[in-house]
Amino acid sequence: MKFDKAAGKNPIDQLKVVGKPVDRIDGPLKVTGTAPYAYERHDVVPNQAYGVILGAAIAKGRINAIDLSAARAAPGVIGIVTHENAGHVGVGDFYTARPLAGPAVDHYHQAVAVVVAETFEQARYAASLIRVDYARTPGAFDLETARVSGVEPKAFPDTHVGDFDTAYAAAPVKVDATYTTPDHAHVMMEPHATIAAWEGDKVTLWTSIQIVQWGLRDFAKIMGMPKENIRIDSPFIGGGFGGKATILSDAVMAALAARAVGRPVKVTLARPHLFNNTTHRAATIQRLRIGATSDGRITAFGHDAWDGNLPGGISERAPLPGLLLYAGANRRTTVRQTQLDLPEASAMRAPGEAPGLMAIEIAMDELAEKLGMDPVALRILNDTQVNPAEPTTRFTIRQLPEAFRTGAERFGWDRRSAKPGTVRDGRWLVGMGTAAAIRGGPVSPSGARVTLTMAGRILVESDMTDIGTGSYTIMGQTAAEMLGVPVDRVDVRIGDSAFPAASGSLGQRGAASATSGVYAASVKLREAIAQRMGLNARDTGFADGKVLSGHRAIPLDEAARGGAIVGEDSMTYDDAYMKSMERQTFGAHFVELGVDAMTGEVRMRRMLAVCAGGRILNPKTARSQVIGAMTMGVGAALMEELAVDKRFGFFVNHDMAGYEVPVHADIPRQDVIFLDELDPDASPMKAKGVGELGICGVAAAIANAIYNATGVRVRDYPITLDKFLDRLPAVA
């Protein structure tokens, strides 16, 4: 089925199941500890051995020699794989880092060897006995130093609209400030893990991965083998945030080890390896220059950003949100990337928008202050209903002003003091802050197979994944709506490459894409059921477990008496139609916090997100996604930072003790409002997404609230008390 025009009225619009706060289909498995995560698939293949990865002890250089003698002699050891006996190991299409070091070492904790033993403890001990002779070479580990000393290539196309330099020079009100964001870690709950088993030249990976089709593509390229010889099974994922987009070293090393020892091998990365062996969000340096008229209309918008990565790695693209967020006739953005020899930087929740808005939305508040204007009013004034660079291209729907107006009223924004540092509650300085949110609303081709079984149940199958977002549930809701049955009559099986290909979970596209695939397959099934029953498909409806045609209401079960009926299809998208409009999601964040006047401690008091993301397929799971994203935004604002050892090139705080993330005590009351919105130009579900929108802008809203509370502006994240304690207002 092809999506090439606005969706009209369809069965989803009944909203008997879709749009309802349905409990998670997979919830009982998760709360009882019986959901099968990758490392715990003990029953899928017998005789599993344990693999433990040894990571490189240098960040850049070469391996002169590896002494495996003591490790091979250790109890329980079955085999050891290094670059010397691994065979071909290439690089996939998404990640640029090599999964196996040797003889060159590209970054700290790059896999050097995998030791296989009968038990995990034996493998871990044997790995500690390996002796590696390294030749260390100098590397680049500091973004600011590398930026100043090197020539940075373009990492993202420069954009030029109008004459930025002239307009900025002529603007009566200007902001020119530089902001920095540090390296961030995904810190997902479940570490990267894989069980690999070979049968001849075919391999099965039970792994934790967000996009199954990318995994097939990249594993095939890395191993130099046909995709048809690979099966990936990933029904449950304990968090990803972009850090498990495709194949990483756990899967590669497990497969190499399993092939070498001739039996299944399971590998999980130790927690420090999640920080230095896999990927992270890159640090950025961002310069914002905004010029405006005296009444607040933006006339010049300039955003220059720098980030760093391994050669060939992707850029963080911090100026991305500014391309579409506000009006302004004269605009310029640049992105430059310098080579760093740190572990690879790659996608992390809302890449581009999340760090870009951390800077843009502080700059907007700074502009509002110079104008003597309310920050909410300034943002509404500079709204645009068309692409600022291409005024003939409109947004499918854009409710950013509505998000701000709704949020301001609900939050009590009119009680905010415009003068910073003037509101106190005992020893606490109290402030409010706001920020805009924008995140793309993309969709990807997705397929599914929907079956009416002989038992009268509906079975949904797709290689879509669920990273804790609720894919099982919304896909089940879609099939239930289309076939006129309650959700408890729907079984959902996902994450297996043997099933029809779907979008996977990345970039806020999963919900709308995967459910659209189920929609397409369900249409096929409806037609097949009508044909078997001798009915005209166009005049056939499905409701209350019955097939409706004219005055007839036939139990759905009767259709399956002659055998199961299958509908399989994919939803694809017409390029010209999809490029004719901008599809984005929008929101507004509001926070209130307190800053201890004596110690500088920051305490969140309350938070509100107002989101416009198309039809909300399940408000319960959607709310869960948004409050989780808001929590990540608190972390980015106040505590999260990968500390770089700039001598030896690694992230020092590579564990959950040193890399701080918010805990329950850090998070106050969180409210979420979903604006009533349908986007028929986005998908047949008229839905987009909210899972990444919820983090966009949160950190800047907190930074702005800290300024409102204290009168101290901090432009370098995280906003730890050492950056403003000495500038707090004097205590009477």
Evaluate whether 333 touches 302 at the Cβ level (below 8 Å): yes
**Model confidence over 263-299: pLDDT tens digits?**
999 999 999 999 999 999 999 999 999 999 999 999 9
- 732 has pLDDT over 90: no
**Model confidence over 492-518: pLDDT tens digits?**
999 999 999 999 999 999 999 999 999
Any catalytic annotation for residue 152? no
Q: Which of 353, 640, 641, 692 is catalytic?
A: 692
3 state SS of 716: strand
Question: Which pTM does this prediction carry?
Answer: 0.98
- 619 has pLDDT over 80: yes
Distance, in Å, from the CA atom of 630 to the CA atom of 623, rounded to the nearest integer, reads 10
**Model confidence over 215-239: pLDDT tens digits?**
999 999 999 999 999 999 999 999 9
> What sign has the CA pseudo-torsion 42, 47, 53, 54?
positive
- 442 has pLDDT over 70: yes
Label residue 126 by pLDDT band (50, 70, 90): very high
**Model confidence over 516-537: pLDDT tens digits?**
999 999 999 999 999 999 999 9
Distance, in Å, from the CA atom of 102 to the CA atom of 113, rounded to the nearest integer, reads 9
For residue 541, give the amino acid letter: G
- 151 has pLDDT over 80: no
Label residue 150 by pLDDT band (50, 70, 90): low
Helix axes of 353-371 and 619-638: crossing angle, nearest 10 degrees: 70
- 731 has pLDDT over 90: no
What are the structural domains of the chain?
A: 2-18+443-579 (3.30.365.10), 390-441+583-727 (3.30.365.10)
Label residue 128 by pLDDT band (50, 70, 90): very high
CA 226, distance to chain mean position in Å, is 29
3 state SS of 614: strand
Label residue 139 by pLDDT band (50, 70, 90): very high
Mean pLDDT of 371-391: 97
β-strand pairing of 202-207 with 230-233: parallel
- 351 has pLDDT over 70: yes
Distance, in Å, from the CA atom of 630 to the CA atom of 698, rounded to the nearest integer, reads 6
Peptide bond preceding 718: is omega within 30 degrees of 0, i.e. cis? yes
Distance, in Å, from the CA atom of 541 to the CA atom of 533, rounded to the nearest integer, reads 13
- 196 has pLDDT over 80: yes
- 204 has pLDDT over 70: yes
Label residue 133 by pLDDT band (50, 70, 90): very high
Q: Which helix (H) or strand (E) holds 324?
A: none
